[in-house]
Amino acid sequence: MKALSLRPAPAVLAALLWAGVCGAQTAPDQPVATAHNDALLQLLQDKGLVQQVRRVRDAAGDMVVAAMAYLGAPYRRGGSSADEGFDCSGFTRHVFENTIGLLLPRRADQQARLPELAQVGREELKPGDLVFFNTMRRAFSHVGIYVGEGRFIHAPRTGSEVRIEDMRTAYWAQRFNGARRAGLVSTGAPDTADPAQP
């Protein structure tokens, strides 16, 4: 018997998140969840992400849900696709291009300086904003996507994989450089969780 992959294609996860996980009703004539979807739902439950996915869907829609489809994708320096893996800026570039059609520059520091992105204060963060960090003794050397409640999703480093982390931990709070917002990112109320506070 072939083992199930726990990292499905983004379309599969997006459909699962919008349907079963996020509480949408399935019509009686629609197919029930497959074993693959059951395994994915179990993985999300085991990682405590089901409620977070529901909140994110309501707050930011497609961009953050699409980013979450890559949880577990391997880190690869210079990588910019799920097939080869992602580095931090390759990940944000891929998500933005495939959800809102905005092609970001290749490097994190170039993304931070893109004129089409508005600067956002820490207290104004909304799901879908790009968040930048100084992780290599230079400004804007790392980037991720804010998902709400003080957390962000990113491709961290060699030997790791795309994951969600808390910006309020000392490591990330001390290295936060700023945030940027595309015009199409959610315009709802700012997230009230201050990422600087532990």
Residues 6+ positions from 115 with CB-CB distance below 8 Å: none
- Measured between alpha carbons, how far is 62 from 182 in angstroms, rounded to an integer? 14
Q: Which of 22, 36, 94, 142 is catalytic?
A: 142
- Residues 50 and 91: their CA atoms lie apart, in Å, by 22
Say how far apart CA 56 and CA 146 lie, in whole Å.
10
Active-site residue 22, yes or no?
Answer: no
Residue pair 126/181 in contact (Cβ under 8 Å)? The answer is yes
185 closest CA partner among 147, 153, 133, 141: 147
Concerning whether 154 is annotated as a catalytic residue, the answer is: yes
Residue 94 appears among annotated catalytic residues:
no
- For residue 21, which of 59, 49, 46 has the smallest C-alpha distance? 49
Q: Are 196 and 168 in contact (CB under 8 A)?
A: yes
| 25 residue type, one letter | Q
Which residues have a catalytic role annotated?
88, 142, 154
